[in-house]
Amino acid sequence: MATVMIVDDAMFMRKKCAQVLSQNGYAVVEASSGAEALTAYQQEKPDCVLLDITMPDMDGIEALKELLKVDPGAKVSMCSAMGQQGMVIEALKLGAKDFVVKPFDVTRVIGAVKKMIG
């Protein structure tokens, strides 16, 4: 079973994504901050990561940089809200694999995960 890590400080988003993913047969690791994500990534070694951009302390871009330092092969898809095109482009340049735009429908999240895991 593939493991997906969801990183989002917004609890509702996180839980909803987790629910959808586990219903589709994925194991889910949740993290509510960039720092948590880094620790969890190294412990749980998820197959891919859904990473929110707007987060306190360490935002999604910083977290992405750190994740890629830890694992240059990390498969990360950014979760972004409307109006953050610039940030997403930056993330893609840095090495993010994909992005989903909030509010997203379920199939898109699953689709992004499937594509990342391959």
Partner 1 sequence: MDLAAGITPEDLDLFFQEADEQLQLLDEDIIRLEKEANNPELMQEIFRAAHTLKGSSAMVGYQRLSDLAHAMENVLDHVRKNALAVSPSVIDALLHGLDIMRSLRQEMVSPDAKPMDIADAVAELSAFVKSKSEPSKQSVEQPSALILDAEAKAKLENAGKEGKQAYFIKITLDKQCTWAAVRSFQIINGLSSIADIIASLPSPQEIEEGKSSNLLEIVIACSLGEEDIRKILAEVSEVENIEISVFKSEKPAELAKAAVSDSPAPGREDNKLSHTVRIDVNRLDTLMEQVGELVINRNQISQLGKMLAEKYHDDEIIITFTDSVSQIAKIVSTLQQDVMSIRLLPVEIVFNTLPRLVRDIARKENKKVEFIIEGQETEVDRSVIEHIKDPLIHMLRNSVDHGIETPEERVSSGKPETGTIRLSAVHEQDNIVITLEDDGKGIDPEAIRKAAIKKNIDSAETISKLTDSEAVNLVFGSGFSMAKEVTEVSGRGVGLDVVKTNIEVLGGAVSVESVPGKGTKFTLTLPLTLAIIPALLIKTGGTICAVPLSCIVEADKLEAKDIQTVRGREVSLFRDNVLPLLRLDEVFGWKAVENRNTENLHVVVVRFSGTQVGLVVDELLEQQELVVKSLDHFVGASNGITGASILGDGRVVLILDVASLIRSTISERQNGNNKKTKVVSSKIGIKY
Number of chain residues interacting with partner 1 (CB under 8 A): 50
Interface positions, 67-86, toward partner 1 (CB under 8 A): 70-73, 81-83, 85
Short-list 89, 70, 83, CA closest to 5: 70
Q: What is the token pair recorded at 69? A: 């330092």
The tokens describing 61, both together, are: 């871009």
For tokens 């429908």, what's the residue? 105
Amino acid, res. 67: L
Residue 12 in the binding site for partner 1 (CB under 8 A) = yes
CB of 2 to partner 1, least distance (A): 15
- Pick the binder of partner 1 from 6, 21, 40, 63 (CB under 8 A): 40
Is residue 25 at the binding interface for partner 1, with CB under 8 A as the rule? no
Show the DSSP H helices in the chain as ranges.
11-23, 34-44, 60-70, 85-94, 106-117
Which residues, 6+ apart, have CB-to-CB distance to 93 below 8 Å?
none
Would you count residue 102 as binding partner 1 (CB under 8 A)?
Answer: yes
Please give the residue ranges that form the binding site for partner 1 (CB under 8 A). 9-13, 15-16, 19-20, 29-32, 36, 39-40, 42-43, 45, 54-56, 70-73, 81-83, 85, 88-89, 92-93, 97-106, 108, 111-112, 115-116, 118
